[in-house]
Structure 1
Amino acid sequence: MDIHIKTLEELAGAAPDILQYAGSNKIFLFYGDMGAGKTTLIKSLCAALGVTDEVTSPTFSIVNEYAGTDSPVYHFDFYRLKEQGEALDMGYEEYFFSDNYCFIEWPEKIAGLIPDQYTGIRIVVSEEGVRQITVENI
């Protein structure tokens, strides 16, 4: 699934389509350069899941938990991890295998810990500022 977004404000409209496309996958991996719009897209996905909490990047806390309509939603930012073992220390398994939504920024930092099934989202920003969002179920 490919989506082209001209402004970050358009991301909200894409969120329900992305969730529908993902089907039963609840692990989402977000790839993209700094400032590509990963956190902004996660805010839109959280809103579509009924989250009313303020959604912010968990850069320093590594994980934020939000109250969704039916269950918690977990938002990870592994950018500051120096090694994969730090995710092991925080008990990532309890989150990833909880059957709750997990939105993961910078998953390349924990490549060896990624579950077998997930929805990958890659955001590429063109020189004109258009974002191409590629969504793929694995």
Structure 2
Amino acid sequence: MEITFTLEEIQDVVKQIFANSIKKVVTFHADMGVGKTTLIKELVSYLGVKHMASSPTFSLVNEYKAANGDIIYHFDLYRLNSEEEAYDMGLDEYFYSGNWCFIEWPEKTPNLIPLDHSAIHIKLLPNGKRHLTVK
């Protein structure tokens, strides 16, 4: 799936993402400031989380509970120093928990990400739009 969109169209993009049967573990690939956290906030909201999601930059993971009881984990691995640090923190247990896992900066833990996951790539275009690819 590929989409080019403006930030004003992000709710429609989220509907299309879920219509394409994404896996429960989703990695997000984009440069800093392109909109990974913004997209994750909308995905979490779509799943029924009532309070606003924020970036877990300093805590590494935020946990949300959807209205239906589903647990959603949002990871920002940017500040990790090593994959071993992530393993010591038990991040792999989250990734294999069966719960939704939205992972920013997954390249910090390439050996811990489940093989069966969806990957979202976002690029900022010169006109300010985003180009999104889901694999």
TM-score by length of 2: 0.94
Give the structure 1 partner of residue 112 of structure 2.
Answer: 113
Structure 1 consecutive aligned stretches of length 4 or more whose deviation exceeds 4 Å: none
Higher alpha-carbon deviation: 8-17 or 120-129: 8-17
Gaps of 5+ in 2: none
Give the percent of matched residue pairs that are identical in Structure 1 and Structure 2: 49
Give the structure 2 partner of residue 75 of structure 1.
Answer: 74
**Matches of 1:79 and 1:93 in 2, distance apart?**
16
**Matches of 1:119 and 1:43 in 2, distance apart?**
17
Question: Does structure 2 retain, via aligned residues, the 8 Å contact 1:22–1:119?
Answer: no
Give the structure 2 partner of residue 99 of structure 1.
Answer: 98
TM-score by length of 1: 0.92
Give the structure 1 partner of residue 62 of structure 2.
Answer: 64
Amino acid at match of 1:97: Y
**Matches of 1:61 and 1:48 in 2, distance apart?**
23
Amino acid at match of 2:65: A
| Mapping for residues 1-138 of structure 1, pairs under 5 Å | 1-6=1-6, 8-23=7-22, 25-70=23-68, 71-136=70-135
**Matches of 2:101 and 2:8 in 1, distance apart?**
22
Q: Secondary structure at the match of 2:14?
A: helix
Question: Does structure 1 retain, via aligned residues, the 8 Å contact 2:45–2:52?
Answer: no
